[in-house]
Structure 1
Amino acid sequence: MTMIDRKLLEIKERMQFYRDNYRRGASLLIFFFVVITMLIVTLFYEVLTQPAPAFYASTTAGELVPIEAMDSPNYSSSPLIK
């Protein structure tokens, strides 16, 4: 094997190394893009399908009482005392 043949073989091996690593990197990039896209879709699904929060008040005895929405704002404390 001559010196030129060895150099050509070395160049070919180096080019194959870079080609293989480029393909591996591109495959990983596509894989991570798919994973990130799936995570974003899952995040939007979770945010958009959240149930409405349920609020409860508690008495001094510790019993839970559901809070009901009022039609108009409460300007005095007399309805709250009843």
Structure 2
Amino acid sequence: MTRIGKLQEKLLRGSALSFAEFERLLIAYGFALDRVKGSHHIYKHQSIGDRINAQPDGKLAKPYQVRQFLVIIEAHGLKLDDKA
């Protein structure tokens, strides 16, 4: 299994993700960094236009933002890009 595949399993289990892991998953699902202002990292998906505002909570991703990401994945049927 690929490294990103293991991160996807961690995401689906509901385990805590580091902010770096969360960013890798965002990119793997087709989101691109749109801009950064302070600690706010805005990621935008090119084809669906949805945005995710991600901020670290120490070294971890904020749980509610990870849940928002899961809702977007499920609502739009986004697939993991293993090459990312």
TM-score band, normalised by the shorter chain?
under 0.3
Ranked by relative contact order (alpha carbons within 8 Å, sequence separation 6 or more), the top structure is 2
TM-score in terms of structure 2 length: 0.19
Going by fraction, where is strand more abundant, 1 or 2?
2
Q: In terms of Rg, which structure is larger?
A: 1
Structure (1/2) with the larger helix percentage? 1
